[in-house]
Amino acid sequence: MTNHYDGLETRSASARAAALTVALPHAIARAQRSAAYHDLLHDVDAAGVVDLEVLSHLPVTRKSELIRLQAEAPPLGGFNVTPLCDLARVFSSPGPIHEAQAEGTDPWRFARALHATGLRRGMLLHNCFAYHFTPAGFMLDFGARALGCPVFPAGPGNTEAQARAAAHLRPVCYAGTPEYLKAILEAGDALGLDLSSLRLGHVTGGAYLPALRSFYADRGLTVLQSYGTADLGLIAYESEAREGLIVDEAVVVEIVRPGTGDPVPEGEVGEVLVTLLDSPDPLIRFATGDLSAILPGQSPCGRTNARIRGWMGRADQATKVRGLFVRPEQVAEVMRAHPGLGRARLVVGSAEGKDTMVLRVETPVRDAALVESLAKSLQGITRLRGEVRLEEPGALPNDGKVIEDTRAG
């Protein structure tokens, strides 16, 4: 068990499911105590939400709702169960959207991710995430402290000073964006500094590209990534197996068709929804706006929770066509009007200087009446005319796109 943070990571499927039947109703009931979820989930029987199938019928909470309600009822829009006087901090992220930090040892649960990276008691963490406005710096700081690790709160920027500080303080682990560690190491090289104490890195907040992985590996560093948001904290993290990101033990992740709350099959790319199970202020089916997919099987590292492929792009694919916005939700509405069909993709293009729309729909059926009916639904819902093409099942790429804009620029 030395490689695992706790026994939760290696639970059997039956033990995990049994725990969920207790945790989910508790999370729903607690959320309903907030003003926002009292309205959003007013007709939900919390005691009956015992598994993913039941959860999938609950409404989706979107960031746009948080922004709107926080503007109407500042600062937190009624999503907090914890009274403002009992919160430790309140942050402000772009949007603007505001996040509350409750009291606690590791409120964003990053200790688990840092432990998987290799951080252990007494190791110094060089933390290059910002400590102002947004919570990223505190997320990693609290996680390290929960492991018994001291933290150098470096924050971002001033790369030469970062390198000199690292040469003097001899940290074992870096935390920050994927590319900034490379900048620090290269600054150290240019200054002739010894940065060999840095053996580990935990990165998030940006794309961790293969070229960067190779750069760190060539220098003998173990640099692993995690996926989280300011609203939710840790969602999933990488282990030494480097085969996908393992879902945190205190959240439920669903992958749904963008613009809907409808779960997609394992392996299909869709939008990431997250439900917080163990939080003073739960979020229920919170839409991250990010694309990913569930990986089959379990991680070779022995952790048994579900895995996702990591960040695969943005799910918000709204685009303007002939002066009107077309959104994934509208494509989903078209498809709901014609049950039994497969995946769909609205391709927006241009011909002779005019915007065009083609709705591609997977179905083994070849029926002119279906084409006409789909075209009618598309026009009725979007208020725009478009062509319909029926495709063979599996013809559309598995990339999570519901709207594809092929126009130049």
Domain 13-314 has CATH 3.40.50.12780: yes
What single DSSP character describes residue 263?
B
pLDDT tens per residue, range 17-63: 999 999 999 999 999 999 999 999 999 999 999 999 999 999 999 98
Percent of the chain, pLDDT > 90? 92
Given CATH 3.30.300.30, say whether it is the number of domain 319-405: yes
Residues sharing a CB contact under 8 Å with residue 28, sequence separation 6 or more, in sequence order: 41, 44, 46, 49, 58, 282, 284
Average pLDDT over residues 311-339: 91
Preceding amide of 96 cis, omega within 30: yes
Q: What are phi and psi of 11, to 5 degrees?
A: -65, 150
| Whether the predicted pLDDT of 226 surpasses 90 | yes
Cβ–Cβ < 8 Å for 224, 196: no
Residue 1 — pLDDT band, cuts 50, 70, 90? very low
Tell me the pLDDT tens digit for each residue of 347-377: 999 998 889 999 999 999 999 999 999 999 9
Residue 313: what pLDDT?
86
Name the segment(s) of the chain with CATH classification 3.30.300.30.
319-405
β strands within 230-285, DSSP E: 233-237, 245-247, 251-256, 270-276
For CATH 3.40.50.12780, the residue range(s) in the chain are: 13-314
- For residue 409, pLDDT over 60 is answered with no
Q: Which residue has the higher pLDDT, 115 or 353?
A: 115
Confidence (pLDDT) at 260: 87
**Contacts for 74 with CB less than 8 Å, ≥ 6 apart:** 98
Q: What is the pLDDT of residues 372-400, one digit of tens each?
A: 999 999 999 999 999 999 999 999 999 99
What pLDDT does 384 receive? 96
Q: In the prediction, which pLDDT does 408 show?
A: 67
Looking at residue 290, its pLDDT comes to: 93
Residue 77 Ramachandran class (φ > 0 left, ψ -120 to 50 alpha, else beta): left
Q: What is the mean pLDDT of residues 86-104?
A: 93
- Does the pLDDT value for residue 317 go beyond 90? no
Using alpha carbons, select from 78, 108, 77 the residue that is nearest to residue 231: 108
